Amino acid sequence: MAYEFKLPDIGEGVHEGEIAKWHVKPGDTVKEDQPMVEVMTDKVTVEITAPVAGTVGEILAKEGQVVKVGSVIIRINTTDAIPEKVLVPTASATTAVAERPQPRSKVLAAPAVRKMAHEMDIDLSRISGSGPGGRIRKPDLSLPTAGEKRVAYRGMRKRIGDHLVHAKQTAPHFTYVEEADLTHLVQLKADLEPVAQQKNIKLTYLPFIMKAVIDGLRQFPQLNSSLDETAQEIVLKYDYNIGVAMATAEGLIVPVIHQAQHKSLFEIAGEISQLSEKARQNKLTLPELQGGTFTLTSIGSIGGIFSAPIINYPEVAIMGIQKIEKRPVVRNDQIVIREMTYFSISCDHRVVDGSEAALFMKAVIKALEHPARLLVA
């Protein structure tokens, strides 16, 4: 009999998923619980295994196609009785899957040409062949007729884009920028680095900033909230789950330090390092990417004077961290060299007033300019 497998309910309010990669093809023999397909949701890629043993009859959803929960995506021919069990997908350790444009079946090209096009990441369906009947030859791959390189806008990149568009269109943004003198913080970090090394922890400025942010959020709880538009209520959060934006090959993702208010400086530093390594290896899990209440995004290692980041909706605020550099400033009518930087904060103006954002930033900066007490906060 033919077993029709429907895209299961992945949970977390997900109603659809994108077929990221098939591990089987029509005619393949599959075993029960054999990896069958990877489905990408808003946050992570879920690996779904074969529910029954048999032979793949028909694949009904192509890679890159977005399908609704409950839609039939594959038929498996089996002679065994179909077990009555709940089909639960297992969360993959990946957050994205490599994307390759799928050439059209009508493209005329020899296998060697197809291999060359694959290695050059060229979509053959966009090439005009110079051979008989429009057949594509190797020289065609480097001719000006190729014109440009196009990469499919799908997968994690599209998910990130859709989320940002929704955030920007839903929440009226405003951005506030403030300058900070971090001379004492730079010295404190240098003093603590030998201790961190003994603990095998990489110490950056982020744990200090996170500690100061939590202190500021305690004073201005509106910034640690979300807006329930259905109930028309502002939801103030008791936990401080601080997201840290991280760049990966697939795009920007935001793993979360949960209940950061209960963690020491070194505990936060260690967790940031672990999440960063998992992000590089595409091994973040769904819980590590959910539940954020406030986000930090840093481009200080790249440069720039200040930024206007987009809110990680449904959060209502995100703080941008810029590079720290020595600059001449006036202190007591004297020009001195200090370690200076800029911080920016973007807020949802429906929930946060400009004055409130400014006072929050001043509280954060005050804590960072006198950082010793962050060690016991």
Hey, which residues are catalytic here?
349
Rg (C-alpha) for the chain, rounded Å, is 26
Helix (H, G, I), strand (E, B) or coil at 314: coil
Task: For residue 117, give the nearest of 137, 131, 144, 98 by alpha carbon.
Answer: 137
Label residue 83 exposed, middle or buried (CB < 10 Å: 0-12, 13-18, 19+): exposed
Q: Measure Cα distances from 186 to 144, 180, 195, 205, 307 in Å.
A: 53, 12, 15, 8, 22
Residues 6+ apart with CB under 8 A from 218: none
Which string of DSSP letters, residue by residue, matches 8-58? Answer: P--STT--EEEEEEES--TT-EE-TT-EEEEEE-SS-EEEEE-SS-EEEEE
Q: Which two tokens stand for residue 89?
A: 């997908």
